[in-house]
């Protein structure tokens, strides 16, 4: 069974962090490596991370001086060892079957990346919008199609990708800049040969 590395950059999100982590540890697919990168939080977020690590051996906590979200993602990615990788922001949460459905799609389509849709929710969990890549579900996409879509919607939280592809690219997030996603993700697509979008309900919940 292949391992999914889940990288969660954490900074001053004590109110939302437990729900985020719970949504990951309770995945129906359990072969996970969960990397919490505390980016110099000044609230209790770092303590929360350490407490979760004491109760679940799959959790690894990295504490770093505050360097920004891009740096935290890079640190988590650099310490990942799974075959597949996803990013989850620490004030968001994920569908219980996100990792299971994504791994199934990798095996079924022999793809480099699996895309999924995201629901926009408020603090009470009410859905008021959706983010989705403009393509048909379970349609195999080539590099050019993927580049076009990721330039329009460069979100690192709406896909699972082979870690080997990211390592091969040598591309990392830029630290302490606005729109680090747009500076990074389109470059990754140049190393991806085949992509597919899940035919499923939104798998990610983005807290607005």
Which tens digit of pLDDT belongs to each residue from 17-48? 999 999 999 999 999 999 999 999 999 999 99
Dist. CA 171–CA 101, nearest whole Å? 27
Which pairing describes strands 204-207 and 118-121: parallel, antiparallel, or unpaired?
Answer: parallel
Give the contacts of 93 (CB within 8 A, at least 6 positions apart): 19, 20, 22, 23, 205, 207
Rg (CA), the chain: 16
Q: Phi-psi region for residue 54, left (φ > 0), alpha (ψ -120 to 50) or beta?
A: alpha
- In this prediction, residue 4 has a pLDDT band, given cuts at 50, 70 and 90, of very high
Cα–Cα–Cα angle for 87, 76, 169, rounded to 5 degrees: 80
State the chain's mean pLDDT as an integer. 92
Which tens digit of pLDDT belongs to each residue from 56-101? 999 999 999 999 999 999 999 999 999 999 999 999 999 999 999 9
Q: Where are any strands of DSSP class E within 79-175?
A: 84-87, 93-94, 113-115, 118-121, 127-131, 159-162
> Cβ(13)–Cβ(46) under 8 Å?
no
Give the contacts of 129 (CB within 8 A, at least 6 positions apart): 119, 120, 208
- Enter the pTM of the model: 0.95
Dist. CA 199–CA 208, nearest whole Å? 24
Which tens digit of pLDDT belongs to each residue from 101-141? 999 999 999 999 999 999 999 999 899 999 888 877 777 88
Percent of the chain with pLDDT over 70: 97
> Cβ(16)–Cβ(90) under 8 Å?
yes
What's the residue count for the chain? 208
Which ranges constitute the DSSP H helices of the chain? Answer: 17-25, 45-55, 69-78, 98-109, 143-152, 163-169, 180-189
State the burial class of residue 76 (Cβ atoms within 10 Å of its Cβ: 0-12, 13-18, 19+): buried
């Amino acid at each position: 069974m292949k391992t999914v590395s889940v990288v969660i950059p954490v900074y001053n999100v004590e109110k939302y962090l437990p729900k985020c982590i719970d949504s990951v540890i309770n995945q129906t697919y359990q072969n996970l490596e969960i990397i919490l990168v505390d980016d110099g939080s000044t609230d209790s977020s770092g303590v929360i991370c350490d407490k979760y690590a004491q109760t679940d051996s799959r959790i690894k906590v990295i504490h770093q001086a505050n360097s920004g979200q891009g740096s935290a993602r890079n640190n988590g990615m650099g310490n990942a060892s799974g075959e597949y990788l996803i990013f989850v922001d620490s004030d968001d949460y994920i569908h219980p079957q996100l990792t299971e459905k994504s791994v199934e799609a990798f095996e079924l389509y022999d793809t480099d990346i699996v895309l999924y849709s995201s629901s926009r929710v408020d603090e009470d969990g009410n859905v008021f919008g959706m983010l989705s890549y403009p393509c048909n579900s379970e349609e195999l996409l080539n590099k050019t199609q993927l580049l076009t879509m990721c330039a329009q919607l460069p979100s690192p939280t709406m896909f699972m990708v082979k870690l080997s592809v990211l390592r091969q690219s040598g591309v990392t997030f830029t630290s302490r800049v606005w729109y680090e996603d747009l500076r990074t993700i389109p470059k990754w697509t140049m190393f991806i040969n085949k992509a597919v979008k899940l035919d499923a309900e939104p798998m990610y919940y983005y807290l607005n």
